[in-house]
Amino acid sequence: MDYHVEINWPDFIERYWQKRPVVLKRGIKNFIDPISPDELAGLAMENEVDSRLVSHLDGKWQVSHGPFESYDHLGENDWSLLVQAVDHWHEPTAALMRPFRALPDWRIDDLMISFSVPGGGVGPHLDQYDVFIIQGAGRRRWRVGEKTPMKQHCPHPDLLQVDPFDAIIDEEMEPGDILYIPPGFPHEGYSLENSLNYSVGFRAPSGRELISGFADYVLQRELGGQRYSDPDVPLRAQPADIVPAELDKLRDMMLELIDQPEHFNAWFGEFITQSRHELDVAPPEPPYQPDEIYDALKQGDKLVRLGGLRVLRIGEEVFVNGEKIDSPHRPALNALANHVVLSDALFADALEDPSFLATLAALVNSGYWYFED
């Protein structure tokens, strides 16, 4: 199914993106849920899928993590089932991510889906990332507060909740409504009836993650082997002192590693295309031969990108799930990065090159692309 969001993107970015929360009534007209509560519950029974049950009973918050074997113990009120990265496991839900590609692919993270019974929610809390919450079946009330320093408290260690807040948005959302919340705005939602919510989350790496990731890259490639040297070592009054010139030189040694575009770009392409959640990778058996892929595409078959697979481009280089794809066929690589569904025409003359066909076959045999049924 194709979804279209009623958003004027230039206006939205100017007025709201990372600035203010907003409710977009009927953001998706005639909304149809791509998944049922039973299907969502089934996914939460799988080992590879990240899921939680959150309940609020007798004034106490309880959180349990999947996989779940049964839901028979649950009542009719005050609980929610939350399943992360559903777009990785359920193809129809991946279509909900595509309208948001008006924003950069590298910032988009995954699709979290929650099913809640009346009163179900996770309490008032803060997120450190942007999120678009699409209301599916049922109704849910959302409250959003002003961005102010909020004291976090932990009635449960898995729920980083905040103190109660005054609402600047207090809205009952119906199917197709979209709530956008930037980082740092406290919010809470609770279901008025059995309901589904779809949260399109955005990745926001911290400085700590970036430094740690780049350090791993440096170590793996044995970069930065040059040692500190000081042929003109400055004399000092106290031998215990480390003088400013030495600190500057040490800092410059570290910055020099980062300030190499070839390495920095290669690292970031690998780092940012790694998924934070498991992918539903199912390599074909038996593997495709390159000529079989050629014949299938020429006969009109189409290749579909695996849900959740991160394919990004930096300059002329394309990265897939943490690896750079080497090929001189730039239009074909651009097609891999920019199109979810690939037809023969998008590859241009690259299919006539045996080396590119071998590269494409390796990607398909890794389970990253598959032929449309």
For residue 112, the model assigns a pLDDT of 97
According to DSSP H, which parts of the chain are helical? 9-15, 37-43, 91-94, 207-220, 244-258, 261-272, 290-298, 330-338, 354-365
Asked if pLDDT for residue 156 goes beyond 70, the answer is no
Asked if pLDDT for residue 218 goes beyond 90, the answer is yes
SS3 345: helix
> For 96-138, how does the pLDDT look when each residue is reduced to its tens digit (9 = 90+)?
999 999 999 999 999 999 999 999 999 999 888 999 999 999 9
- Residue 1's pLDDT band (boundaries 50, 70, 90)? confident
Asked if pLDDT for residue 149 goes beyond 90, the answer is no
> For 264-281, how does the pLDDT look when each residue is reduced to its tens digit (9 = 90+)?
999 999 999 999 999 999
Instruction: Of 328, 357, 327, give the one whose Cα is nearest residue 344.
Output: 357
Q: Which residues contact 322 (CB under 8 A, 6 or more apart)?
A: 270, 271, 273, 274
Asked if pLDDT for residue 38 goes beyond 80, the answer is yes
Burial 32-63 (b: 16+ CB within 10 A, else e): ebbbebebbbebbebeebbbbbbbbeeeebee
- How buried is 320 (Cβ within 10 angstroms: 0-12 exposed, 13-18 middle, 19+ buried)? buried
Burial 256-291 (b: 16+ CB within 10 A, else e): ebeeeeebeebbbbbbbbebebbbbeeeeeeebebe
For residue 372, the model assigns a pLDDT of 87
Cα gap 317→147, rounded to integer Å: 38
Instruction: Of 234, 252, 251, give the one whose Cα is nearest residue 243.
Output: 234
- Residue 151's pLDDT band (boundaries 50, 70, 90)? low
DSSP annotation of 125: B
Amino acid identity at 86: V
Full-model pTM: 0.92
For residue 158, the model assigns a pLDDT of 67
- Residue 160's pLDDT band (boundaries 50, 70, 90)? confident
Query: Per mean pLDDT, which range of 31-40, 51-60, 157-166 is the poorest?
Result: 157-166
Asked if pLDDT for residue 11 goes beyond 90, the answer is yes
Domains and CATH numbers, the chain: 9-202 (2.60.120.650), 207-272 (3.40.366.30), 290-371 (3.40.366.30)
Please spell the DSSP secondary structure of 218-255, one letter per residue: HHHTT---PPP--TTPPP-SSTTPPPHHHHHHHHHHHH
Mean pLDDT of 226-234: 94
Cα gap 226→223, rounded to integer Å: 8
